[in-house]
Amino acid sequence: MTSDRYSIFSLLRETLNGHKGWRPAWRSPDPKPSYDVVIVGGGGHGLATAHYLASRYGVTNVAVLEKGWIGGGNVGRNTTIVRSNYLLPGNVPFYEHSMKLWEGLEQDLNYNAMVSQRGVVNLFHSDGQRDAYVRRGNSMRMHGVDAELLDVAALKRILPMLDFDNARFPIKGALRQRRGGTVRHDAVAWGYARAADRRGVDIIQNCEVTGFRIENGRISGVETSRGFIGAAKVGLACAGNSSRVAQMAGLRLPIESHALQAFVSEGIKPFIDTVCTFGAGHFYISQSDKGGLVFGGDIDGYNSYAQRGNLPTVEDVAEGGMALMPSIGRVRMLRSWGGIMDMSMDGSPIIDRTPVDGLFLNAGWCYGGFKATPASGDCFAHLIARGEPHPVGAAYRLPRFATGRTIDEKGVGAQPNLH
């Protein structure tokens, strides 16, 4: 496919050469006057959409416009977890499609994304919670997804560091998805960018969309900080900024933007070899290949575009961690950061056309967008190229909020900060 594949030989050559010969993994072209498809937003979802448009649906005259740089948004800010352990019919096939695409991603992109199927273990702490997880596991298995219920003895073998004697939050068992795990998030952005670029997609960084040109109800292009770019079709994949961008096209979305924080500790020796979630509070943890404990919890809970969070949530996450595994108490927190989540009104995403002809929307990923990246890209590309939804993404329609067909995994209603 290309002359500069990464290999042991190229690494040896560059080692001897002082690493002066590496070339950029994708071009930095000037925008053309017009494209068949313009994707607004060069995050994971936008780049995946461009890749699948070019590789699966034969649309190569595509530009991805990114106001910052590739990998600077949520695709580089998440906690890298992938899983497909959902409950509801509209969600399970979609996330399983994503899981299968993750499993073949590195071969598809010819790029090491460090896909690690180390398993995801969701703990439960009460009989009611066990029933809920049994139900979830059954729903997964009926959809052909792997799920297994672990009792305490089995759990002690794989997660011996948990506080099993905690009187307040007793651990009663767990639901485990072995095929879940982690993926190196930056590599996902870079891999998709490189693969899309190879197929002729123009990735244009530092190019902010400032408006849409709409004529007779049909999109004809986008105004940007680098001038007007014509487009027959425009796809929005703007994550936390979806409302702001859609507003320029006169749309008001069922979305609030909220800050979600994530944390990493100093590097320590191998400690936890799976992804583990606490069921009595909101806390989840895994260990990166560098040794840092990567963990997070709830969104901060109020509208925010600040890309940073506040201290009460830091305290809440730390308390969750201490209740679950007190042995991490003396590990130092190295960094924390925030990203802006497009929290939808039912906690599920939107992949649909909009009232403007030729303008398509991919938004509302809440704090679960990373695991969805490949399927989101595939479904959005399918919708843009063929004009109809992909079968596994067909439930994510925009009118569902008005018609009552919402997909509310948590069952809390139209209250984004509770999803």
Partner 1 sequence: MRIACPHCGPRGVDEFSYLGDATVTRPTDPADLDGFAAYVHERRNPAGRHRELWQHALGCQSWLVVTRDTRTHAIEAVEAARDVALARAGGES
290: contact with partner 1 by CB under 8 A = no
390 or 400: whose CB is closer to partner 1?
Answer: 400
Stretch that binds partner 1, among 85-93, 141-149, 255-263, 376-384 (CB under 8 A): 255-263
Assigned token pair, 119: 């398993």
Report the alpha-carbon distance of residue 181 to residue 237 in Å, rounded. 25
Report the alpha-carbon distance of residue 72 to residue 257 in Å, rounded. 17
Report the alpha-carbon distance of residue 44 to residue 187 in Å, rounded. 10
Helices (H), 230-299: 242-247
412: contact with partner 1 by CB under 8 A = no
| 95: number of Cβ within 10 Å | 23
Least gap, CB of 252 to partner 1 (angstroms): 5
Report the alpha-carbon distance of residue 345 to residue 343 in Å, rounded. 7
Report the alpha-carbon distance of residue 90 to residue 92 in Å, rounded. 6
At 13, is the secondary structure helix, strand, or coil?
helix
252 or 330: whose CB is closer to partner 1?
Answer: 252
Least gap, CB of 348 to partner 1 (angstroms): 13
Report the alpha-carbon distance of residue 56 to residue 94 in Å, rounded. 17
Least gap, CB of 310 to partner 1 (angstroms): 5
Least gap, CB of 122 to partner 1 (angstroms): 26
Least gap, CB of 64 to partner 1 (angstroms): 22
Give the residue, chosen from 123, 234, 255, 264, that forms a contact with partner 1 under the rule CB under 8 A.
255
- Contact between residue 308 and residue 259 where contact means Cβ atoms under 8 Å apart: yes
Least gap, CB of 313 to partner 1 (angstroms): 9
250: contact with partner 1 by CB under 8 A = no
- Contact between residue 345 and residue 401 where contact means Cβ atoms under 8 Å apart: yes
Report the alpha-carbon distance of residue 337 to residue 348 in Å, rounded. 24
46 or 416: whose CB is closer to partner 1?
Answer: 416
8: contact with partner 1 by CB under 8 A = no
Give the residue, chosen from 345, 351, 372, 385, that forms a contact with partner 1 under the rule CB under 8 A.
345
Alpha carbon 332 to its chain's center: 27
Report the alpha-carbon distance of residue 217 to residue 357 in Å, rounded. 6
Location of structure tokens 């948004």: 73
17: contact with partner 1 by CB under 8 A = no
164 or 305: whose CB is closer to partner 1?
Answer: 305
Least gap, CB of 245 to partner 1 (angstroms): 11
Q: At 304, give phi and psi (nearest 5°).
A: -155, 140
Stretch 297-336 residues interacting with partner 1 (CB under 8 A): 301-306, 310, 312
Stretch that binds partner 1, among 7-15, 148-156, 241-249, 260-268 (CB under 8 A): 241-249
Helices (H), 143-214: 152-158, 185-198
Least gap, CB of 28 to partner 1 (angstroms): 28
Stretch 366-405 residues interacting with partner 1 (CB under 8 A): 401-402
Give the residue, chosen from 256, 298, 352, 378, that forms a contact with partner 1 under the rule CB under 8 A.
256
196: contact with partner 1 by CB under 8 A = no
Q: What is the CA radius of gyration of the chain?
A: 22
Q: At what angle do helices 369-386 and 44-55 cross, to 10 degrees?
A: 40
126: contact with partner 1 by CB under 8 A = no
Least gap, CB of 406 to partner 1 (angstroms): 9
Catalog residues that contact partner 1 under the rule CB under 8 A.
241, 243-244, 247, 252-257, 301-306, 310, 312, 345, 401-402, 414-417
